[in-house]
Amino acid sequence: MRWLAPVAAAVATLGDLLLLWVANAARPDLGLASPGASALWLGAALGVVAIPLYAVGYRDAARLVASGSPGTARVVSGAGGVASVVGAVIHGATAWIQTSGGAGLDPLAATLESPLLVGLWAVAAILVLVASIAFARATLRTPLRAVAWLNPALVTVALGALGQASPLLQAFLAPAAPNLAHLVFFSTVALAPGRRTPAVP
């Protein structure tokens, strides 16, 4: 079970890239070949099925801090679990918008044109930030400090910044950053030595 969340994040990232390929293929400035309509539905299904499993990854992360801070563990698991459900809804809503004429828009522009997506992204961002800060505070002064720095909020920001380096990265890496960040985080949690932290003074 320790690798369920990393595999789910990899599957969701693939789903993201398929949705982005469909959207970006309609942008003349990128010159991409269209993958076909089936890619949209496959990408939607992959994300909607995989992203709720992020709750397992957040529970695994919570177990790392449970012995030293049970309250923090509940925050990490609870906020992360709800964010996982919201994330799946975001993924499905994004695919639905693409089928309703949203293809061809810059991913950020498409999101900003949908009040539903703006609201969902705001909720998900707050929940992930809460879980990330709680996890980082509990692990920063422990042997798991490396995991603390690889929390999903911080890695998402780093990948999003990197995604501004070129139009192609801006079209694919930046919007896929949240799922890629969870892939990094859950993989690091799965590899964490001992998978437990000592009590936090």
- Look at residue 28 and tell me if it is in a domain: yes
State the pLDDT confidence band at 36, using cuts at 50, 70 and 90.
confident
Q: Would 33 be classed as within a structural domain? A: yes
**pLDDT tens string 38-89:** 998 999 999 999 999 999 999 999 999 998 889 999 999 999 999 999 999 9
Per the structure, the count of domains in the chain is: 1
Q: Which pLDDT belongs to residue 198?
A: 42
* pLDDT bucket at 201, cuts 50 / 70 / 90: very low
**Structural domain of 173:** 4-191
pLDDT tens digits, one per residue of 132-142: 999 999 999 88
Whose CA is closest to 121, among 86, 172, 69? 86
> Half-sphere exposure of residue 92, counting CA atoms within 13 Å on the CB side?
12
Supply the pLDDT for residue 96: 86
Residue 197 within a domain:
no
Q: How far apart are CA 139 and CA 146, in angstroms?
A: 9
Is 154 within the bounds of a domain? yes
